[in-house]
Structure 1
Amino acid sequence: MGRPRHWVRVAVALCALPVVLLGCQKDEVARVNGVVVKRAELMTELEKRWGGPMLQGMINQMIIRQAFDRSGLQFPQDKLEKVIQEEREMAGSEEAFQMRLAYAGQDEELHRTQLELDMKLTMLAQKDVVVTEEALREYYKENEPRYREPERVSFSEIVLPTKQQAEDVRKLAAKPNASFADLAKQYSIASSQQMGGRRATMAVEDIVPAEIRDPLLKLKPNAVSEPIQAGGAWAILQLHERLPAKQLTFEEAREQVEAGYKAEKQPVPTNELAQQLLNQASVQVVDPKYAELQRQYMSADLLRAAPGGEGAVAPKGPPGAETPKTGAPAGAAPTEAPPATPKGETK
């Protein structure tokens, strides 16, 4: 079951905006033809446009944190650090990891906060699931194909608009002590250019465009390909590593097995739990500027008092917003944030 990141992500991002701005001490933020734009003016405009969603996001975050604190569960900080480290390794380098965060409009602190909220909500949804060794081993046997890692590769690319340019850059890459990453940053037109051409480690079957797959697999580690025509452009590839397919043992896959088992056995979907927590919360929005937001939370209060029980209907979103995805609490972002994988890679 996927993590309910679509509303948590944007709520955290919006809540970070005033912190970033207030962290800058200068009263002036810009000059336009000599006319000063003051920080107070920016903050006023920011609150006017985003005050409601930001406040709603802060409330929703607080509801999750309070519910987790009441549960008596202990947050596994080491597991959070492990997830972040795995993301670093998947990116291929620290620079690539930071660039992916930046592309998604994040920094590491913001990303860490999002992951923490995701994990806490998931732990709440799964806190009553009973896990035994026997049940996990049986689940592994029933789902053994899930725990087979396909053949994977890690590589970098330099994408250029013409064959002549690709041939010229290929000659530069062939020189002693040439840096493929530096050449990618200087010449590539793909979004991976910002990461020195580095692509995330991926399954062979997922390599796109298909035209680069066979030439890439013929390379030896650290070798550089000749120019390859693909997707209306020309690509030069450097193979870093080729990882063979592997069937994970139960012990190797235990963490994945337990996560899958809990997700399958949890009594309530995670997003549905988030909605229930929202509907059960008592919220008072005291600033009259956000009266509409108060009415939404008052609707949740009325639901609790009405016959038929809690959470029968979700509070409506802010005026003009799209309806959040099924199960997302009020205050969910109307749209997804950009994916972590940069668009514009070779297709």
Structure 2
Amino acid sequence: MRSKWLIGVSAFLLITNIGTLIYFTSNDKGDFLLSSHVAEVGEESISEREWVEVLKQRYGKEILTQMINKKVVAQLAEKHEIRVSEKELKREIDLYHRMVGAGADAYEHPDIDRMNDEELAKEIEHAILLEELITKDVVIKEEDLRKYYKENQHLYDLKPLYHISQIVVPTKDEAEQIMQELESGSSFSTLARERSIDEFSAPSGGAMGWIDVNSNYVDPAYFEELSDMGRGEWRGPIEIQQGYGIVYLHDTKEGTRYTYEEVKGQIKRQIAIQQLGSDFDPKQLWDEVDVSWEYGSN
């Protein structure tokens, strides 16, 4: 369940962006106000009206479902006095970054790196509130909670995180030439797009997202340099498996170990959701708020 909502964060933002387009291109009566063209194909054109109508037909129900779910969860959380503290939210964001580190950012979910901090925090807060609502009536024995923590302590022993980009080239001479261009003021991301041979990170300007020593997508040689680098610093050439790399450090997060008491609530939700199975649909909460929509019955 945890992995499902993590992936869902990225999917929700994609749908929400489409929904925002539809919203801002309609009037209060729901009639589209668009008339300009978005594409010219030979002597024919595609209007914004046509484009948005297709988006609404294909994604309209999913968008509206997500929007309703957000409001339902917010209203029920207020009704049941369920809140997420800043401390808990920060902890969940830290755990999230580690669950979707370089592997997700650079390879599996490239849209994740485009979220700003506020968007990410809102989506994770929504996910926590939803989990709390789903599991609020489930009782888990204290001994089971402690057992889970003991068996999964590695999940709560967080190593330092590094937000990095890289440029990978086949030879040391080329790496040294790129270093000289960086010293002269050239853009790291531009050079990564133009010169890096890493097929996954090059298109995004060398971005590798947040990584730690357990990341499988980063050459271990980088970590020998990252531990004493400062934000905004690049370093190289570093001999790696693909050739020679230059690594740029955007930001760092200190490691920490969360105690049982700090993550007890999360563990309770995790076990409870596993017990409930995967059949739960947030739409099951709609009746408690009395939802009606244009697609008929739930």
TM-score (norm 1): 0.55
Match of 1:41 among 50, 54, 57: 50
How far did 1:159 drift? 1.9
In the alignment, structure 1 segments of 5+ residues that lack a partner are: 91-96, 298-347
| Count of aligned pairs between the two proteins | 274
Query: Which residue of 2 is the match for residue 255 of structure 1?
Result: 262
Other structure's SS at 2:166 match:
strand
Distance 1:18 1:30, change over 3 A: same
1:164-219 CA-to-partner distances (Å, cap 9, x unmatched) read 5434214434x47777566446643545457764534433242535xx32465267
Check the 8 A contact 2:160/2:255 in 1, yes or no.
yes
Q: Could you tell me how far apart the structure 2 residues matched to 1:117 and 1:270 are?
A: 20
Query: Which residue of 2 is the match for residue 236 of structure 1?
Result: 246
Other structure's SS at 1:204 match:
coil
Match of 1:73 among 76, 81, 87: 81
For residues 1-347 of structure 1, what are the structure 2 equivalents within 5 Å?
A: 2=2, 4-5=4-5, 6=7, 10=11, 13-23=14-24, 27-32=35-40, 33=42, 35-70=44-79, 72-76=80-84, 78=86, 82=90, 86=94, 103-104=111-112, 107-108=115-116, 111-128=120-137, 144-150=153-159, 155-160=164-169, 165-173=174-182, 175=183, 183-184=191-192, 187-190=195-198, 191-193=200-202, 197-208=206-217, 212-214=219-221, 216-217=223-224, 221=229, 222=233, 224-226=235-237, 228-231=239-242, 234-237=244-247, 248=257, 250=259, 254-265=261-272, 268-269=275-276, 271-274=278-281, 277=284, 286=294, 294=296, 297=298
Check the 8 A contact 1:226/1:236 in 2, yes or no.
yes
Q: Could you tell me how far apart the structure 2 residues matched to 1:21 and 1:275 are?
A: 24
Other structure's SS at 2:236 match:
coil
Give the aligned residue type for 1:274: D
**Which one has a bigger Cα radius of gyration?**
1
* The 10-residue stretch of structure 1 (117-126 or 81-90) with the greater mean CA deviation from structure 2: 81-90
Give the aligned residue type for 2:235: V
Q: Could you tell me how far apart the structure 2 residues matched to 1:177 and 1:8 are?
A: 36
1:104-128 CA-to-partner distances (Å, cap 9, x unmatched) read 4965465455334312211113324
Q: Could you tell me how far apart the structure 1 residues matched to 2:275 and 2:128 are?
A: 15
Q: Could you tell me how far apart the structure 2 residues matched to 1:153 and 1:44 are?
A: 43
Check the 8 A contact 1:8/1:117 in 2, yes or no.
no
Q: Could you tell me how far apart the structure 1 residues matched to 2:251 and 2:39 are?
A: 50
Distance 1:213 1:273, change over 3 A: same
Query: Which residue of 2 is the match for residue 334 of structure 1?
Result: none
Check the 8 A contact 2:159/2:212 in 1, yes or no.
yes
Check the 8 A contact 1:3/1:122 in 2, yes or no.
no
Other structure's SS at 1:121 match:
helix
TM-score (norm 2): 0.62
In the alignment, structure 2 segments of 5+ residues that lack a partner are: 26-32, 99-104
Give the aligned residue type for 2:35: D
1:74-122 CA-to-partner distances (Å, cap 9, x unmatched) read 33363586369759998xxxxxx9xx99734965465455334312211
How far did 1:141 drift? 5.7
Q: Could you tell me how far apart the structure 2 residues matched to 1:144 and 1:86 are?
A: 15
* The 10-residue stretch of structure 1 (106-115 or 49-58) with the greater mean CA deviation from structure 2: 106-115
Q: Could you tell me how far apart the structure 2 residues matched to 1:262 and 1:283 are?
A: 26
Q: Could you tell me how far apart the structure 1 residues matched to 2:180 and 2:51 are?
A: 50
